Structure 1
Amino acid sequence: MQKKNKFPPGFAVAAVGLSGILFMTGCAGEYDVLDKVADSTTVGESITDKINDMVSDQSQNVTYICKRMKALSGETETEEDTEKPEYNPETYADTSKADISKFKAKKVSVSDDEVDDYIKSLMREARIYGDETDAIDDECIAHVAYVKTDTDTKEEIQNLSNMEWSFDSSFFPEEVSKKLIGCKVGDNIKVKCSGCEYDITVNDINSVSITNMTVFTLTSGQYMKASNYRTFVKNYLYNQKVLNANEDSIDKLCKSVSVTGYPEDVLSYDIQQKFMYYYQLTGASSPDDEAFKTYIKENLGCKTTKEFTTKIQKEVEQSLDDEIKILALAKKYNLWLDDDKLAAEVMQNTTEYSSAEDYYAACSKSYARYFISKLNLAKEIQKNEERIEGAG
């Protein structure tokens, strides 16, 4: 069983050169693998197993070193190089005390009105609308001309000839937007609000109606029929509700799982990503840059790089701890998906991306696996409740 290892405090010098990388991964000053095995006090483990374990660990470190050397030398990394290393979560977690069958869930449902409201919100956000309509309501999109002036000085503040407006936009104060409800094309209103006068003329009004054409446009051709897209959105919203409804049960289930160690290459990768994030945020190229030191002191309360490294390591370990538990539980309950099924599940649970590859590029494949595993655990708990009620 692997124990949790402290990440070297010298990690922060990883961006400096090869020696820094070696120290970062714990390989600097390593003595021979066989010496390490001979020094081991582990009981009940064969010498062969010990050697295999150590070779596996160091192979992961070497792989990570090669990736970092590519980055530092300016060599273009492949997609495989930049991905988070994969690992078997069951190696690092004990799920023997976990019992998903004891958790129950409340009934969850999604109405047709909820589906339509959600689709219309996406359409308004994307500024996709249907045919012209007679009067403004709280769902339509209109184009208006308006002049905003100071009530006291009569000074003109803003003048636009054809601005796009919807009720849920924040361009006008709500009091002003309410006065537009019921207006028709060509109507003019004058509203005084918060020390200003709004002189507004309605140019045109378009409905936000869910049709085959608007759905086709909204989904960039992924869906040609509104009925099929409604089915997709209903399933999407249902999954979101199931996940939210069972968050507490999943947290309790995770507490019954013990994390026995961390995959070192994944730990290294996650910490490296944290450092790169703060480097990019501050424009720094090393932990010695004043911009970096000032930022971590003022925003994170870290007076030294060592304090920052310790803080980051704890954050990464906490996050990885949660990830390992969720993935190990997915393995335990046969909810682990191969790459093809994972991609299919991702596309059933996003309205923002047109392909799984786009989702991975924006959020990472490792996050997708974590999210889908957690969702499937929630759905499994939901099925427990349905079986219990059906049996009654």
Structure 2
Amino acid sequence: MEVSAGFQVVSLLLFCFAATSHGVYFSSLKETLEVIASPTNGQVLKAGEDNITVTWGFNQTWPAGTDSDYKTIKVKLCYAPISQKDRKWRKTEDHLKKDKTCSHKIVARPYAASNNSFTWTVERDIPSATYFVRAFAFNAQEEEVAYGQTTDAHKSTNLFKVQAITGRHVSLDIASVCFSAFSVVTLAGFFYKEKRNSDDNKKISTVIGYLDSIAATSHGVSFSSLKETLEVIASPTNGQVLKAGEDNITVTWRFNQTLSAGTDSDYKTIKVKLCYAPISQKDRKWRKTEDLLKKDKSCTHKIVAGPYAASNNSFTWTVKRDIPSATYFVRAYALNAQEEEVAYGQTTNAQKSTNLFEVQAITGRHASLDIASICFSAFSVVSLAGFFYMEKRK
């Protein structure tokens, strides 16, 4: 009886697995819906800001009653072929359960033959890509039975783009300000409470000393006080676009030999950094240039750091996967024994307008996610096979 029960469980699991492999194929659907979206061909929309208005209805050129089993409509944002290339997680499959073309939901509602419209704000997590809009009609069994889309059969017309959000958001700045304000208020309250306690002068002295230490940390080196004594060259050409996680930057640097010998006698360390150009700092306070280097946010991405040498310095750096889309240049700082900046050099001019290059950030899923998915799937299959084997031995 135990063997029979085990075989029944395994048979049921295999049946369920086989059942899920069936489904509706896109090639079997009729294009009976007319769908129109507001973006014009080639228009660029900003994620989290711009809207898409979609209208749809039954194509009146089809015979009356053709839509009698349509119960639900689902409207989706779909990747155009140009944004699916080399991205398996966006791959088009005829089997709709496996299809990844239309993975972003816009709206779902009961079916109506006409007068359907919906305005959707492009969500903040929508990746940069080229898109079109598609609507599916479902029957009472929640199976796709018809469709319509804003592009042609080749998905080459009426396409628009979405520009994804990269870097920090305003919400993070607000949270930072709130926590900072809370800290200041708490410190002020502590100081007031201690001041009222006339018998505890030691605690008051501690608070005053703490405030003095905070004031001391506000001082530091100013960029305007540094000498430009380093010559720095980076491999990207002016206007070149590099891909994060793939392309390399080779940086070479040395002491400017036209200056007096011995000027670099107190240089102990070199730090080379990737820096934002002014065009990528506009309206982004978290990338703001400040003369006080402790507050400066221009150069937040480290390339390399090491002991100082006057010449023959070179380093090849693969652009990290988390570098955001922006326009950049490279800057090197020379630091003294006290780890304070004393000199610099950069690949651009003083106005930061020459020899600039771009980085194209990674958006969407990565190969590591696909590998993890395959591993977990393989583990499930092996576990099921092991269970079947153990039941068979009983």
TM > 0.5: no
Q: RCO (CA 8 Å, sep 6+): is it higher in 1 or 2?
A: 1
* Structure with greater proportional strand content: 2
TM norm structure 1: 0.19
Larger Rg computed on CA atoms: 2
* Structure with greater proportional helix content: 1
